[in-house]
Amino acid sequence: MRLIVCLKPVPDPKHWNKLRLDPETKTLVRAGVPAVINPLDKKALEAALRLREAHGGEVIVLSMAPPEAAPVLREALAMGADRAVVLSDRAAAGSDTLATAHILAGAVRKIGDFDLILCGDETIDGGTAQVSAQLAEFLDLPNLMHVSDIQAGPEGPLTVRSLIEQGSLLVEIAPPAVLAVAKEINEPRYVTLMNILQAEQKEIAVWSLADLCLSEPCVGLQGSPTQMADLFAPQRTRRAEMLAGEPREMARQLADRLHRLGYC
């Protein structure tokens, strides 16, 4: 099987106190904040590695990221991915989900034949849960989200379990397809020192937008139909009122205030 895993470097949650938004572009300023593999993308990579171990083939990590994200991709290679492709172009900065999916689709076409594209359901820095469906639409492929299990035989369709409210769906889907995984699918493997050393010998190909021959120029902030309109800090109008008296009297006053405010 040839499996492509879409992987996004995201700001390390341990350093979210350092994040800020650009007041002009209204986009996240990531400079100076360490990056990690988006947690659900890491689970998508683990699912791909298990499928390769069971059926053979190749796992390719695909990411749209700046050059400084190389250590994140090296971690993916240390987990067991065979090679990585990173789309790094300043013109892609500020892309919304639609522009991102458009660029990723161009990269997938350049990679060539594949059986599955695996993504995480959503990312912790955006949380839109849109890219996998948009990517599938650009590639004219079936898409299934909230995937908690993937079973593949030697031939024929895949058996995929997709979580829904109050249960799950068991679906047969013929590759190629785009699957987005849920947190329930697995626990990613630990990376050993030997894995890290071996990852240094694996290929990370760097492509620009010029390498993709995109049919439409909908990339970057200017080519994104979804943009933040404004950014402001909400004004807080809370006030505190101190109650005085004996405990029984303060309790009576509090109950009276809550009743007049409609809480009881």
Per residue in 165-205, pLDDT (tens digit) is 889 999 999 989 999 999 999 999 999 999 999 998 898 89
**Conformational region of residue 112, where left means phi above 0, alpha means psi within -120 to 50, and beta covers everything else:** left
Distance CA 91, CA 106 (A): 15
**108-141 per-position pLDDT tens digit:** 999 999 999 999 999 887 788 899 999 999 999 9
Distance CA 184, CA 13 (A): 20
Q: What is the dihedral of CA 216, 133, 125, 50, to 10 degrees?
A: -120
Contacts of 95 (CB under 8 A, 6+ apart): 64, 103, 219, 220, 221, 223, 224
**Side-chain half-sphere exposure of 216, counting CA atoms within 13 A:** 13
Q: What predicted TM-score, i.e. pTM, was given to this entire model?
A: 0.81
Distance CA 22, CA 41 (A): 26
